[in-house]
Amino acid sequence: MVEVSLTVGKLDASLALLLTKDHHLIEFPTILLPDGISAGSIVKINCDRDIEQEIKDKEIFDCIQDEIYNTFGKSLPQAPLLKV
């Protein structure tokens, strides 16, 4: 997990400019900032990998692939020949 401290530089409608200690500029959606923030505030950001979600996403994606394949990827079954 990575944790960094960022200064809020500018709050502009939907986007905020955050700055790291070594002046890395990050454009960040304000919607992802906590309430009560203003220019000059300091925020902590934690970033963590979400393996669980990755597995879940992969499962969903595989399902969709299967459905596409099953719907369009197989020849239509022959109409059954009726023998008298």
Q: Give contact residues for a copy of itself (rule: CB under 8 A).
A: 1-2, 4-5, 20, 24, 26-29, 31-34, 36-37, 40-50, 53-54, 57
Among a copy of itself, another protein, none, residue 47 binds (CB under 5-8 Å by kind)? a copy of itself
Among another protein, a copy of itself, none, residue 67 binds (CB under 5-8 Å by kind)? another protein
* Of 33, 35, 39, 31, the residue nearest 14 (C-alpha): 31
Residue number with CB closer to another protein (4 or 41): 41
**Structural element, H or E, at residue 63:** helix 51-72
- State yes or no: residue 54 binds another protein (CB under 8 A): yes
Rounded-to-integer distance, Cα 11 and Cα 39, Å:
6
Beta carbons within 10 angstroms of residue 19's beta carbon: 14
